[in-house]
Amino acid sequence: MSIHQFGKKFITLLYTLTRACRIYDLNNDVVITAGQKFYQFINSLFDIFENIEIVRYRDYIFFNKQRLRFEIEGYASLQFIDNRLKHLDIKTIVISKGIEKDEIMRFITIFKETKDIFMNEIKQKSFPHIFVEFKTTKDEIPDFLQNGERTKKVYFKALMVTKNLMQNLWVNRTVDVRSSKRVVYNLIDTLSRDEFGLLALTTIKNFDEYTFNHSVNVGILSLALGQRIGLSKKDLVKLGTAGILHDIGKVEIDKGIIYKPGRLSTSEWEIIKLHSNFGVRQILKTRGLDEVSLYAIVVSYQHHWNYNGTGYPPRKEDEHPIFFSNIVRITDCYDAMTTFRPYQPTPYIPPLAIKVIWAKRGILFDPVIVKAFTQLLGVYPVGSCLKLSSQEIGLVVRQNPGHIEHPIIKIILDSKGKKVDGHTIDLSLDKKVSIINPVYPQKYSINPASYFV
């Protein structure tokens, strides 16, 4: 078992025991069985780990410094424990060797209670093998996440490698596709630690380097979605590489068309559509071809195939896109809609892009993947600007797993329209403030990406 798998099982057993104690008394067979399983598993963990540490930080839960991902399997249990920790204001729980079943059961009986009861009982009763640290008003970064710059370095390294690869192809130099694969491994590892931080960086939209930015953003969004669905690391490497290389065929198209201001003519649009075919040729030209490259070839060709059989290039009736192509179809569309482009001077705001994709599920997009994508980004994705009932403007800085309509926001404009370094509000907890509507950041001269870089 990996640390992540140990953590998932720990959370599942904790969830089962806590729920059982909410319904039955301590002498009930259901509670006794759940308690025994949890106790036995904890003791088995002490053969591997010195202590068991659960940390909640910025809506992430870490088990012994490994972030536990919100995946379809085990989603309910992780969401339940996340909500418990949030409402009890718990930052850290450490369980040490020597704990007995009686101490576990005494802790569980207060863990299911209200915040006031829990805080009072944890101070009054003796828990020699359970240490609880409460959250303070200051947003304290755990020691193992102190180096936040690492996430930015990984993002910009991915951008540099992608840019070099495509620029070399533009001048007909031979390239090695394995460089993109190495970047994808780094992105996967970074997502495992800091999904929030890496997704936030996809708000970077460089008008002059759209092709490179877009390719990296699609790769990251595809990887995050693949992790949420529960893909293996081997499949994530295929998916992430395909996401980064999906538009590689554009290196064969005249830059005058790629960067043309204003609308494209019919003939120019037909040329643009050929990039799917050109992508196959470009990847076949690269060194280091392997199974990962083959998936990139297929996705490059299919990423404009729609769920209902329309799209380009033309296909036969019985031809259907592979699963990875359906994922990249959505992430490509989302990033393209939310980005300045020569023929799209006013991009969609993220909440509107999510609405459009949701409305087109079952038509352009696979409905199951759309649902997972919406759960991942939320109704108001990171980087969205929201007008609030307080007349302030808030920037969505984090999502709330399980509360996709109530993100965590930072106040960036006060009620008079003045830029401020405001406080952070969790809209799932603070009921005094509500969202009126999303707004265009350009109207207020706001660049959302500047708050994350």
Q: Tokens in use for 443? A: 């109207």
Predicted pLDDT at 327: 98
Q: Tokens in use for 251? A: 């290196």
Examine the fold and report which residue of 324, 343, 376 is the final residue of a domain before the chain moves on.
376
Dist CA 407 CA 275 (whole Å):
37
Predicted pLDDT at 31: 93
Predicted pLDDT at 437: 96
Name the more confident of 22 and 327: 327
| 116 and 156 housed in the same domain | no
Neighbours of 450 (CB within 10 A): 9
Examine the fold and report which residue of 115, 143, 171 is the final residue of a domain before the chain moves on.
143
Residues forming beta bridges with residue 68, ordered by sequence position: 61
Domain count, the chain: 3
**pLDDT tens, residue by residue, 252-299:** 999 888 888 888 899 999 999 999 999 999 999 887 788 999 999 999
Examine the fold and report which residue of 376, 407, 433 is the final residue of a domain before the chain moves on.
376
Contacts of 343 (CB under 8 A, 6+ apart): 260, 261, 262, 263, 264
Residues 307, 364 contacting (CB under 8 angstroms): yes
Could you check whether the bond before residue 313 is cis, i.e. omega within 30 degrees of 0?
yes
| 201 and 99 housed in the same domain | no
| 168 and 299 housed in the same domain | yes
With tokens 């470009």, the residue in question is 282
| 221 and 366 housed in the same domain | yes
Predicted pLDDT at 145: 54
**pLDDT tens, residue by residue, 186-245:** 999 888 878 888 899 999 887 667 788 999 999 999 999 999 898 999 999 999 999 999
**pLDDT tens, residue by residue, 330-353:** 999 999 999 987 667 789 999 999
| 215 and 309 housed in the same domain | yes
Name the more confident of 313 and 172: 313
Whole-number Cα distances in Å, 52 to 37, 48, 212: 16, 10, 42
| 330 and 236 housed in the same domain | yes
Dist CA 132 CA 122 (whole Å):
8
Query: Can you give the CATH number for the domain in which 358 is found?
Result: 1.10.3210.10
Tell me what the pLDDT averaged over the chain comes to: 89
| 137 and 78 housed in the same domain | yes
pTM: 0.75
| 89 and 191 housed in the same domain | no
Banded model confidence at residue 138, pLDDT cuts 50, 70, 90: low
Strand, helix or coil for residue 360? coil
Predicted pLDDT at 100: 93
Q: Tokens in use for 226? A: 């693949």
| 206 and 222 housed in the same domain | yes
Banded model confidence at residue 146, pLDDT cuts 50, 70, 90: low
Domain extent for 443? 385-451
Banded model confidence at residue 54, pLDDT cuts 50, 70, 90: very high
Q: How large a percentage of the chain has pLDDT more than 90?
A: 58
| 163 and 308 housed in the same domain | yes
Predicted pLDDT at 439: 96
| 60 and 168 housed in the same domain | no
| 91 and 192 housed in the same domain | no
